[in-house]
Amino acid sequence: MPEITCREALNQALREEMDRDPSVFILGEDVGLYEGSFKVTRGLLARFGEKRVIDTPISEAGIIGMACGSAMTGLRPIAELMTVNFAIVAMDQIMNNVAVARYMFGGQCSVPLVIRAPGGAGHQLGAQHSHTLDSMFMHCPGLRVVIPSFPADAKGLLKSAIRSDDPVMFLEHEGLYAMKGEVPEGEFTIPLGAADIKREGRHVTLIAVSRMVYVCLEAAQALAKEGIETEVIDLRGLNPLDMATVLKSVRKTHRAITVEESWLTGGWGGEIAARIMEEAFDDLDAPVLRVGGVDVPMPYSKHLEKAAIPNAGGVVARVMEIL
């Protein structure tokens, strides 16, 4: 099985789905001639032409509005936002049209639209370009929220997202595009809403998405030196939410900690913790804990930014609190 980067895996998924289905097309800022801000759409304009890889003006609301309309009429658009921070400009379209159209029209239309958006901190881009908005989209009924971490997941989940009849927010982390991993060639899909156990353990469960999966795996390695076996669950998305895998793990380890890059207050970790308390309270040997980003606008200073993002040492410290 070839080893490729997450960027290449995403490109492979786009290329294969555009080959498979002529109704699939891409639109966004600099997705054609410039081949995307992070080069995920490299080579696609040359292969599929300007009718299927469309450079748009700088208007996120316009991009999502056009994508929504074309999806409602039977096409399968993939809208790329330069970063997820710019999704805030298009939130009216996302929440008031994309997410609710099927419901408002009584099921007479669907919106098979994928919105790809890179985000995350760690690159000294300041408070307006380092957002992690996973929880905001999770809070919006009607949207699927998919968040890959490993390259194979990126390919398999993106192909499934493109084939879905529901609108999908496909959230990529800018710090993971260069991560390498084995990726199956050709037809390979992963169902939406299926978490993956990235490491098995029996003493504590760590629950994460995106770059925080790698942080949890690093923490698990450190804890293993102390004889602590840590189970790491990669949710791979927040809607649908695979609580069955989470609860099964918690009933084995009896301890759970959520780890998210987004702000801790109002984050998705609180939702997971509440559901564990509601459905598996008697299986717990300790309270469910949360690790998350510091509740501050993301600092530009390199050292302050690093301090605002969860790290493996912080995860280890929280684990030791409940063992």
Active-site residues: which are they? 60, 129
Which own/partner pairs from 282-289 qualify as long-range (CB within 8 Å, at least 24 positions apart)? 283/250, 283/251, 283/254, 284/250, 284/254, 284/255, 284/256, 285/254, 285/255, 285/322, 286/254, 286/255, 286/322, 286/323, 287/322, 288/256, 288/257, 288/258, 289/256, 289/257, 289/258, 289/318, 289/321, 289/322
Tokens coding 40: 């995920």
Q: Residue 227: exposed, middle, or buried by beta-carbon count in 10 A (0-12, 13-18, 19+)?
A: exposed
- Spatial separation of the C-alpha atoms in residues 313 and 291, rounded to whole Å: 11
The contacts of residue 29 (CB under 8 Å, 6+ apart) are 37, 55, 56, 57, 58, 63, 80, 81, 82
Give a three-class secondary structure readout of 297-314: CCCCCHHHHHHHCCCHHH
Expressed in percent and rounded to 5, the helix, strand and coil fractions of the chain are: 40, 20, 40
Q: How many CB atoms lie within 10 A of CB 256?
A: 29
Distance CA 124, CA 18 (A): 35
What's the rounded Cα separation, in Å, for the pair 49 and 43? 10
